[in-house]
Amino acid sequence: MLDRPRSSLATLPTPLEEAGRPLEDGPRLWLKRDDLTGLGGGGNKARKLEFLCGEAMSLGSRALVTVGAAQSNHCRMTAAAGARLGLEVHLVLGGDAAEGSPTGNQLLATMFGAQLHHTGVAESHWGELEVARESLTDELAGQGLAPYSIPMGGSTALGALGYAVAFEELMGQCAQVGARPAAVVVTSSSGGTHAGLLAGRAAMVADGRLDASTAPDVVAVGVARGVTMGLPDIAQLGDDVLALMGRPAALGPDDVEVDARWMGDDYAVPTEPGDAAVAWAARTGGWLMDRTYSGKGLSGALAMIAEGRWGRDDDVVFVHTGGWPALFA
């Protein structure tokens, strides 16, 4: 599984912290602190970028190109990876350049030396943004930079491989603390983290290291329209990850659960439950979550707990994927 070029970018393993019981008669909640991966302020993208940048370096690329919303965590962390590896970084961003000095993730990306390309495209129009990324990639290739171009969120099979590895890390930590999670809950937009976790679970079951009857559900809280409508195809992306791991396809539609109730009006549009979850996290454990991604994901996890999906004898892990710099935008 790890016999692939890999750049050392993340601080691993990330902690698994107990968050107590949000409801007295509810399950014990744990946070997998992937906001503490270290790189450029931390977040889940560091795990993906280790494999993506490993390939870029092996190909002799001199520049990284990627795309995201105006306050994209992935773009900020790609900029940090480029700084670490000595690569030029170009970020294709939704929306227009803000007046005055940059804030939040854009401020950090510029500090890391990235060049920002504002498109004026709405943040939810991912297809148009990807076209802009491809156009810029062609332009930079013409300049001889041999750019390595990364789609939205780094959610290719190679990027998602980082979360197949993360699932095994998480299961080892659960065993150490005596937790037997009924579910692993994760926020999903471009789908790579979700697909990687599913592939990691399937691989451990196939290897006999995890009993299929007790393997935790992987429950995604969808925060973008595409993933709530089945785009990308999470099962196919997970099977592509398994292929990279040298294992047969194992995932089907029944393995993929995306709860779309907590997205709100659209991607990057805050919601009242999301803001309440951000406040709960801050006041309960000093955990910082953003309003676009992690806050909405946690709101879904807390709502499912309130609905009684899991009982007092259960453990539930929420994968905290980071995003706090957007709080300062």
Strand ranges across the sheet with 63-68: 115-118, 88-93, 63-68, 147-150
What number of other Cβ atoms are within 10 A of residue 238's Cβ? Answer: 32
Degrees to nearest 5, angle at CA 327 with 32 and 95: 115
State the residue for tokens 């991607």: 267
Q: Which residues contact 16 (CB under 8 A, 6 or more apart)?
A: 30, 31, 32, 33, 170, 173, 174, 177, 179, 317
C-alpha dihedral sign at 208, 209, 214, 220:
negative
Q: Helices 234-244 and 157-177 meet at what angle, rounded to 10?
A: 80
SS3 per-residue string spanning 171-224: HHHHHHHCCCEEEEEEEECCCHHHHHHHHHHHHHHHCCCCCCCCCCEEEEEECC
> Rounded CA gap, 218 and 143, in Å?
44
Phi, psi of 147 (to 5 degrees): -70, 145
From 7, 72, 155, 190, the catalytic residue: 72
- Residue 155: active-site member: no
> Looking at residue 150, what DSSP letter applies?
E
Q: Active-site residue numbers?
A: 72
